[in-house]
Copies of this chain bind each other. A is one copy, B any other.
Amino acid sequence: MKRHLFVACLSGAALLAVLAPALPGFAETEAPAAAPAVPYPDGFRQWQHVKTGLVTAQSPAFAVAGGFHHIYANGPALAGYASGNFADGAVIVFDRLAVEEGAGGTLKEGQRIVVDVMLRDAAKFAATGGWGFEEFAGSSTTQRNVGAKAKATCFNCHAKQKPDNFVVSKLRE
């Protein structure tokens, strides 16, 4: 009786965690996601600004890349831009923001659309050129758009930059 009451007080995920090991086949079909491979790049706005671009509504890429984008690099990534070799731990961020029309003929930054992240770990992400990829929605630090789809969503295009270690950008003067 005591045991029954205990289970009844659990709800949602906690209840699943208690019951799942007893359900045949559960682990294969409903296993919780693995620990995040590419963490949110805390503090990236204090990292060095590498360069900026703007994808206008006239671009075929507008739906997936429209707006201002600013690229930021942490210390190991900056060393990589200089040397051509990116050490494990290098992180490059692509911060994408909506474009708003300001006073006559000016364009200004609007809301953040996504934060794209590349994290270097040559062994862990060997299947995608040694880089892990993730995209965080808006200004969320937890809502992930990519997850296990990194190869199709990110790497297949970065693969064209193999001579540059799969990094598209250059550090602007």
Given contacts A58-B105, A109-B172, contact A48 B45 (CB under 8 A): yes
Q: How far is the CB of A46 from chain B (nearest CB, A)?
A: 6
- Is the CB of A25 closer than 8 A to any CB of chain B? no
Closest-by-CB residue of B relative to A49 is B49
State which size class the interface on A falls in.
20 to 34
Counting chain B CB atoms within 10 Å of each CB, the highest count among A68, A72, A104, A105 belongs to A105
- Is the CB of A161 closer than 8 A to any CB of chain B? no
A59 and B106 within 8 A (CB): yes
* Residues of A near any B CB (own CB < 8 A): 45-46, 48-49, 51-62, 68, 70, 72, 102-109, 112, 139, 172-173
